[in-house]
Structure 1
Amino acid sequence: MRLVQYREAGGVRAGIAHDSATIEPLAIDGGTYALAQAAMVEGGMGAAVERRRTGISVDYQAIIDAGQLLAPVMHPDPAHCLVSGTGLTHFGSADTRDSMHQAIDEHASDSMKMFQHGVRDGKPAPGAVGFQPEWFYKGNGSCIVAPGAPLGFPDFARDGGEEPELVGLYIVGKDGTPARIGFAIGNEYSDHVTERFNYLWLAHSKLRDCSFGPELLIGEVPADIRGVSSILRDGAKIWGKPFATGEANMSHSIANLEHHHFKYAGFRRPGDVHVHFMGTSVLSCADGVALDPGDVMRISAEGFGRPLENPLGARKIVKVALAVL
């Protein structure tokens, strides 16, 4: 089952996406955040959805055309949403990263070493703890851009490029226990030119907008997910490549990535939402593509409904005036 979230006159509404043509709104105010809170005491997301079905049909495309479509999970207070990610988690991802972070001698780069450790010990037996993955911070909920909306392009950025990824979406319960809401396909969107200059600038390259959805998959996620990432310029495809994600194509298990994220007490604050990107292996920048403002990043994957599309926004001048108190 897949859910979407959209803005309506009375606030935010969650609904079931039916064949990417119609939406069945659910009888709960507050969207998927309120639904997830209910699910924690009602036996899971599926049960919570079934209790709130209305049988009403709303035109999906009309919601999109009206600019009402939202990211499928949000916290009502963006400061209580943490957006983060892990890299070097997919077979093939190390080659792309290694080409940016080559060591100056014959020894493996730090990127390749991290990947190799993940291959050896990233999928531990149930109940065991595997190798700690790379981790990065992207921002709070204010960096989440709705499907269809432009991704910000600040003037200090050297590049704006797509990253097609599986995204885990979570809420923390009242007792501090994190709960998985579901998964979506996302665009982690990073500055690869800045990252390429020096891997110590990875943190800077990740502090950008992101987008995911438009549909949220609840229940079990497929082990083998196949998708296509494309760049459109003036309506024509200038680049495209298939990608594979899901545990069958990853060097880490999802459970291992989740453990190493939520092991930190600060990430188990009751009521918070977590958006966690799980890595990619396909980038247009690796093929020498540089996006221009207006280019559309299009990411689709089997089983996740409608594709995610976001244009690259216009260059925005950033000026910071610091106050002295």
Structure 2
Amino acid sequence: MFLSQIQTEQGRVVVARVGEDARIVPGAASVVELAQAAIAAGRNLGAEVASRGQGEAVDLATAMAEGRVLLPVDHPDPCHMHLTGTGLTHLGSAATRNSMHAKADPEQMTDSMKMFRMGLEGGKPANGGIGAQPEWFYKGNGHAAAAPGMPLVSPGCALDAGEEPEIAGIYLIGPDGVPFRLGFALGNEFSDHVTERGNYLWLAHSKLRPASFGPELLVGPLPDHVEGQSRILRDGQVIWEKPFVSGEANMSHTLANLEHHHFKYEIFRQPGDLHVHFFGTATLSFADGIACQPGDTFEISVPAFGLPLRNPLVQEPKTVSPVTVKSL
């Protein structure tokens, strides 16, 4: 089952359940509202949706074409929505990173390779134990979340603007501080790879960029093997295309281990907060020498996730003067 949030032609926000067709979920103004009701009733999100029955049919593809498809889940207060992620989590993901951070001595293992090896050796602990902690990064709050079809805006300080096709886990913190996974969505964990390449300690800077996810939320477990295509279109033509894979069969960590190392921090278990956590990728156009340009469109598609995720690239004017701080 998939859930999407759309705006009707009359301007009302509704939740659509997508199966053989798309139908409005009666009495639901948001996925967060549905999730909160499910938690209160002691049942899963799918059961809560089923209990509402089916409303009128909606055309999701038309809504997408008309720019009426919203993020599949959002928070009424964007400051209580957290965008985060983990890197070096996929088999093969270390090759590009290692080349970016290679040291003069080829026999000396880079920190990236050390981190990747830690995941290979300890990212999938037996019997549900605690495994090696992954690389972790912060992207921003809900103000950095771009809806499907909306621009990904590269800031004026950026040196690069590149896509990262990923799967994102969506979580709501319950009233007692327990994280509840609502489902999974396609994600574009947009990053600045030139800044990151300059010094691996600039990874934090390179990740402070907007991100997009959706347009549909997959409710239920993530398949062990997820396969899709990542594309860049320029003037309507595909200039780069490559398959990408995800799911635990293609990862060096279990999802449970990645989730543990995020939610082990109490600050991320505040009741009512929403979390969008990107699980990483091994496929980047940057690794193939592609320099994205304003006006390019990123397209990430996985048949098992419904409609593709598309976002155009917009570049803010380059930063030419420092930000000034006023003293009070």
Query: Same fold by TM (over 0.5)?
Result: yes
For normalisation by structure 1, the TM-score amounts to 0.96
CA-to-aligned-CA distance 1:165-205 (integer Å, 9 cap, x gap):
01000000000000000001100000000000000100000
CA-to-aligned-CA distance 1:204-258 (integer Å, 9 cap, x gap):
0000000011010001110000011010001110000001100000000000000
Q: Which residue of 1 aligns with 2:73?
A: 73
Identical positions, percent: 55
Spell out the pairing of 1:89-168 with structure 2 (5 A cutoff).
89-105=89-105, 106-168=107-169
Q: Which residue of 2 aligns with 1:36?
A: 35
Q: Which residue of 2 aligns with 1:323?
A: 326
CA-to-aligned-CA distance 1:35-88 (integer Å, 9 cap, x gap):
111121331011011011324101113312332211101111000011100000
How far apart are residue 126 of structure 1 and its match? 3.1
How far apart are residue 96 of structure 1 and its match? 1.1
* Aligned residues of 1:5 and 1:12 also touching (Cα < 8 A): yes
Indicate yes or no: 2:175 matched with 1:184: no
Helix, strand or coil at the partner of 1:238? strand
* CA-based RMSD: 1.4
Q: Which residue of 1 aligns with 2:283?
A: 282
Helix, strand or coil at the partner of 2:276? strand
* Aligned residues of 2:167 and 2:279 also touching (Cα < 8 A): yes
Deviates more, 1:31-40 or 1:276-285: 31-40
Distance (whole Å) between structure 2 residues aligned to residue 305 and residue 48 of structure 1? 21
Q: Which residue of 2 aligns with 1:16?
A: 17
Distance (whole Å) between structure 2 residues aligned to residue 244 and residue 227 of structure 1? 6
Distance (whole Å) between structure 2 residues aligned to residue 12 and residue 100 of structure 1? 44
* Aligned residues of 1:298 and 1:307 also touching (Cα < 8 A): yes
CA-to-aligned-CA distance 1:276-323 (integer Å, 9 cap, x gap):
000000000000000110101000113100100001013345674422
Q: Which residue of 2 aligns with 1:242?
A: 243
How far apart are residue 30 of structure 1 and its match? 2.9
Distance (whole Å) between structure 1 residues aligned to residue 171 and residue 12 of structure 2? 22
Deviates more, 1:10-19 or 1:109-118: 10-19
1:209 aligned partner, one-letter code: P
Helix, strand or coil at the partner of 1:283? coil
Distance (whole Å) between structure 2 residues aligned to residue 11 and residue 96 of structure 1? 44
Deviates more, 1:287-296 or 1:309-318: 309-318
* Aligned residues of 1:293 and 1:315 also touching (Cα < 8 A): no
How far apart are residue 154 of structure 1 and its match? 1.5
Residues 126, 76 of structure 1: CA spacing in aligned structure 2 closer, same or farther, 3 A cutoff? Answer: farther
Distance (whole Å) between structure 2 residues aligned to residue 13 and residue 125 of structure 1? 42
* Aligned residues of 1:86 and 1:279 also touching (Cα < 8 A): yes
2:38 aligned partner, one-letter code: A
Indicate yes or no: 2:79 matched with 1:87: no
Indicate yes or no: 2:6 matched with 1:6: yes
Distance (whole Å) between structure 1 residues aligned to residue 102 and residue 303 of structure 2? 34
1:54 aligned partner, one-letter code: Q
CA-to-aligned-CA distance 1:129-170 (integer Å, 9 cap, x gap):
000000000000110000001100212100100000010000
**What is the count of residue pairs matched by the alignment?**
323
For normalisation by structure 2, the TM-score amounts to 0.95
Distance (whole Å) between structure 2 residues aligned to residue 238 and residue 39 of structure 1? 44
Distance (whole Å) between structure 2 residues aligned to residue 131 and residue 104 of structure 1? 28
How far apart are residue 104 of structure 1 and its match? 2.3
Helix, strand or coil at the partner of 1:86? strand
What 5-or-longer segments of structure 2 have no aligned partner?
none
Q: Which residue of 2 aligns with 1:45?
A: 45
Distance (whole Å) between structure 1 residues aligned to residue 139 and residue 154 of structure 2? 15
How far apart are residue 15 of structure 1 and its match? 0.9
1:281 aligned partner, one-letter code: A
Distance (whole Å) between structure 1 residues aligned to residue 249 and residue 205 of structure 2? 30
Helix, strand or coil at the partner of 1:47? helix
Spell out the pairing of 1:166-315 with structure 2 (5 A cutoff).
166-315=167-316
* Aligned residues of 2:16 and 2:58 also touching (Cα < 8 A): no
